[in-house]
Structure 1
């Protein structure tokens, strides 16, 4: 079978976090593969929108539904008026890309193609499936005559949606065997196990070539010495992310410099702990930024010590850039990292283990070993998590490719 005539990404909130970066990366990847892409969103941050527009999106590619945001009940979504807005949006979208022909027609122009609907959480996927099953699209023009041409797929189904699993009618993709087991234990079905990689080689390659310049630039901007050993942390400051552990690691590794990009309810506590430990200028916290790849490329290691994790796109980006990860063995991370080859997984007490591993890498011998590990990390990430391969696997699981 051929690929879809349209990819539709549905997400309740778009921010510069893991699911938001996934949505933006998938939008870019579909477009680069010649597949038109639209998005339905509940809300989006200014930074995420700037990043999305930087990938070529226009306002006409996006539909904002306030009922999709977390402040509303799912019942608010199941209204004909909401379906009418979606139908009108897709009609205009398909007109502009296909000369007035519907991507959902089963006529000669689009036989077997249809629309791939990717819900980036259970709420989003269930919304679109409900409209499909209830026939809400039937009453909004000829563009939606062949409802069977909608194919639904749910990505990034995490904690909070398990109550839906026993009745969930939509194919689900898990990002790791451990997440697949977690879903099945709660009565859900898993149709595929696919890592959410969105590595864009054309974006990564120039940064790898510029790493020396970016290293110097980052250290100069932070006021650190040219040979400072730098760990980068890209994470929101929520309890599950373990960011309170990061200052403790810095305290245990004299000479280690930390740049932490992110925000969240624990930001003040993390900063306060860094002050209590007397880290001074060795610890710098900045907001989540669209320049995350440039910052990553300037670091020596990527430090991430969550209590729990699903996938972590930032780890794959760091590895692609040759930045060696030191991370907790949770979620999909053990499947990415070969300890001592392309990174390290903590053992036992995560703080003590991270201190031990990082201290070893900060020695002269360790820095030489770090170069070898960086090459292995980059090769694995670019080959395994490139965006074109990820969307191929999604569409294959949806039946577009055999």
Structure 2
């Protein structure tokens, strides 16, 4: 006897909504109704999940044929991100294999984050929404249920991803306006929108989104860099074409928009004699620690880092800015001390230390004490208030360091 997919899925949707409500993610009755109505499994008939394995990250395929209908449904309704594409290439689902060390490029985001963002979007009946990044179409469907399909425009860069999303939405009875194109350019034909929401990370807010969101409207997006996510920010558009708001939290992390992804090359590794050396109180932990890493990303928006042993076996951390060939190399000294060797047009570690000093003098505040101001000419992340210390976001005209 075949499992009753509809009955099992309905039960799992109600369990998921109850779990998200218990965990404090889901508050609105309207969004709870959407979560319990939209069949997530229709949007993820095939996906990959990460497994624990030594070495490179490994993903294993999940389909009803491979695991059985009930286990596939259970995983489809788990509060997890489900990967649906790697390296911009489609998977051959006639014979799927485990994937090792690849780069995820499309997914169905974990429902807790989806619901969190939708509630923070502050939707009211009758509003129009521009969604950047259709992905599987699941969050699009939730918004269609909450408003109505004719109020939703969703833009997807990848044609294959867009076709799958359109098919899933149609199966579920939703017919939003779907656009295949550059999400960073938005969609002027449907503007102005009451709300703009991005389900991809961006290094800066495209000013086209500001132009296409009405005065008084909101933009909700995740700012991130090449080292890490900065967090979810909500901006209000004013009548002068400026957008301003604060970080809501620093947890969300989306795949970066493909148009803003880091170059394939990290940059040139400096020779042992390059640069000038000095002591520093900060080691490589400041690049990854929760609040320190947030400031490090602001201070060095064009940088990436990695560690590897030198010829004598000493583990070195290389911080390389591929946009201007600046570098910093960290090596341990005795105790907790470190040595930094830096060179290039920008002294990266000096910029980082200055930023950390500014932040610590302010009491080492959490990311929600930071805000963002976007104008046509520039974009800044500021601390405390718009006239406080600030850092430029990496729009084409901007560079590293404090503004």
- Pick the structure with more helix per residue: 1
- Fold-level similarity (TM above 0.5): no
Q: Higher strand fraction: Structure 1 or Structure 2?
A: 2
TM-score by length of 1: 0.30
TM-score (norm 2): 0.30
